[in-house]
Amino acid sequence: MTLLEEIARHLAFLGFGEVADRERDGNIFLGRLPERDGLTLAVLAADAGVAGQAARIQIVVRSEKELEAFAVCQGMAEALADFEGYLMGYGRRVSVRVQNGAHGLGTDDRRRALYACNLTVRYCG
């Protein structure tokens, strides 16, 4: 299980949606923001790592309702802020630092609001 998948499954555990996979049509996607209606979240790798010890991750939220996109994105940032503990999945212990809370990315070609937050995730021990 990749770090992106662990973060996505942790967001689902926190109640932000369901991870989309072969068995489920969820709203949390790994590495992509597919074309679909409704609240959609993408967990993306912002880079391959910081000095080999940390990874930067961006979470993008899209919704037809701007307030919903902002509230979900900011809620995720607040839920993950200064998180130190075990992620869902393999249960690896990580430290999460939120680099910035929800910030607007504008709208897509269908006028849906886009918001993002950026994280740095380090494995502990």
Percent of the chain, pLDDT > 90?
A: 70
Integer Cα distance of 40 and 17 in angstroms: 9
Predicted TM-score of the model (pTM): 0.90
Q: What angle do CA 81, 82, 84 make, to 5 degrees?
A: 125
Cross-strand pairs, 45: 57
All structural domains of the chain: 3-123 (3.30.2000.10)
Closest CA to 54 of 121, 125, 124, 119: 121
Tens digits of residue pLDDT in 60-112: 999 999 999 999 999 999 999 989 998 876 777 899 999 999 999 999 999 99
Integer Cα distance of 1 and 17 in angstroms: 19
